[in-house]
Structure 1
């Protein structure tokens, strides 16, 4: 029996939850669907479905096989649709994963422009600071800030955003301005990453890179939480500039220790390494390749202070 016929029958039964429903979906007779599944299970040497009088469910082997083969069928459908319709038509779903704060500040504002350009797209924007598994979570494109450790992914660097050490004027009026990184041990440093005790912030001096162990009364795995605390005058934060512009730009928030902060974080577009990339994903990637660097350069700035006391 044709393997593609078997695979189509398997996907239909898995999604419909039964042989009769799969037959109606595919337009085949129920015996033909059952025969295709039996042939597939015999060829693979495993049971793909648990069968009962009331329902049909995937076995563990069947679930793993479904997750792999579903992607293959979708890619084949994408290729068919692109050839059948037009290479210029961009339509269908695109799932985009991006860190929460960076996404809110720099990606979400670009979505209306993307949808105006390609009105037949259906964007699913996932804002999360958790690095998601692109295959398991069905992510078409990820926008990430920082190093990428995914050998099976395609990575395109599109921009860089510098690191900054930042606080509010109200905090510095009360506590003074740190003149050197060593002064941070006397300050309330707000720690991103959820570390409860201390963190090492990186700096560069005349003798090269070094780090300072800092502490504070607030830590969180959410950039939004630390940003809000900085704005409220709770303490000093250490971020990428791209995570600060917008809501924290303006005269009430300033950077300090600028002469000691030299690092930057790359902004990367990442997508699964597949042989076929749908037109909708290619066009979306091309859009963000141009739009994100412009967005970062056009965004507001964080004021810089001289090393003075208030």
Structure 2
């Protein structure tokens, strides 16, 4: 028996609450629906539904199977609709997560173009320097700059950005400019996310310099504000300094010692079926961010 027919019958029974109601819903006979569900249970070797004279309810295994397979039917229906609709118009909600500063500088400016292309699309953009659990937080697409090591995620690298070490001109006028990474030991360094070992490169390869200071933070925005105010020296990816590096007051130092980079990546949950709208939004940002950065 056709597996798609079995699955369609099973989902219809669950959502209609019974075999006769499911038959009316999809325009088939009650006996055909019953045979399809029975064939599905026999093939899987488990009972999916508890049947009584008054009701039909899911078993625990049936509930799990329904939750996993219902999105597949949605995906098939959406794919059919797209092919039948010559405009291929996207609609529905896509939840996007990205870091606050990078999002403000590089993601938000692209949103108007994306929505202009797909007016029926709805976006929920979460700006946070914390790393979200994609599945638990219902995130469809994350745009990240830090390394991604989650085994439950699919990663598409867009580009690579170098790190940069900067401070304000007034800070260096007051405290001196570091000429080598070791000079940072005498400077006030702003620590991000507890990373007190900064990586540099020299003639003998990579080496770490332990830094410290009177300010630590979990947001790049705080570091930028502190640098502008002359508090100390910070290190992060260059994409966060798009505007500041054009300012005469922000100065990059130790550039010849910096070889570390950060990947800008698109990350989405490791699901077998990804909706068309998420796929197209992902492709949009892959192209637009690649050109922008």
| TM-score bin (small chain) | 0.7 to 0.9
- 8 Å CA contact 2:159–2:263 kept in 1: the answer is yes
How far has the Cα of 1:239 moved from its partner?
0.3
Match of 1:208 in 2: 205
- 8 Å CA contact 1:163–1:262 kept in 2: the answer is yes
Note the 1:39-118 alignment, pairs <5 A: 68-69=68-69, 71-86=71-86, 88-118=88-118
Match of 2:11 in 1: 7
How far has the Cα of 1:182 moved from its partner?
0.5
What SS is found at the alignment partner of 2:248? strand
Task: Give the 3 Å change call, closer, same or farther, for CA 180–95 of structure 1 in structure 2.
Answer: same
Tell me whether 1:253 sits opposite 2:250 in the alignment: yes
Cα-Cα RMSD: 3.5
Task: Give the 3 Å change call, closer, same or farther, for CA 66–255 of structure 1 in structure 2.
Answer: farther
Note the 1:93-242 alignment, pairs <5 A: 93-193=93-193, 195=194, 199-242=196-239
* TM-score, normalised with respect to structure 2: 0.77
Task: Give the 3 Å change call, closer, same or farther, for CA 155–174 of structure 1 in structure 2.
Answer: same
Distance in 2 (alpha carbons) for counterparts of 1:174 and 1:294: 39
Provide structure 2 residue ranges, at least 5 long, that are not aligned to the other structure: 51-57
Distance in 2 (alpha carbons) for counterparts of 1:283 and 1:262: 34
Distance in 2 (alpha carbons) for counterparts of 1:94 and 1:6: 28
Match of 1:303 in 2: none
* TM-score, normalised with respect to structure 1: 0.73
How far has the Cα of 1:97 moved from its partner?
1.7
Distance in 1 (alpha carbons) for counterparts of 2:130 and 2:156: 20
Distance in 2 (alpha carbons) for counterparts of 1:139 and 1:262: 32
**1:188-222 per-position Cα deviation (integer Å, ceiling 9, x unaligned):** 100000x2xx7100000111110100001111111
How far has the Cα of 1:124 moved from its partner?
1.6
**1:243-283 per-position Cα deviation (integer Å, ceiling 9, x unaligned):** 22235641111111111111111111223344444332232
Note the 1:231-310 alignment, pairs <5 A: 231-246=228-243, 249-296=246-293
Distance in 2 (alpha carbons) for counterparts of 1:47 and 1:226: 57
What SS is found at the alignment partner of 1:251? coil
Distance in 2 (alpha carbons) for counterparts of 1:130 and 1:174: 34
Task: Give the 3 Å change call, closer, same or farther, for CA 62–101 of structure 1 in structure 2.
Answer: farther
What SS is found at the alignment partner of 2:249? strand
Distance in 2 (alpha carbons) for counterparts of 1:266 and 1:189: 24
Task: Give the 3 Å change call, closer, same or farther, for CA 221–266 of structure 1 in structure 2.
Answer: same
How far has the Cα of 1:82 moved from its partner?
2.0
- State the aligned residue count: 270
**1:49-89 per-position Cα deviation (integer Å, ceiling 9, x unaligned):** xxxxxxxxx99989866754454344234323323424732
Match of 2:54 in 1: none
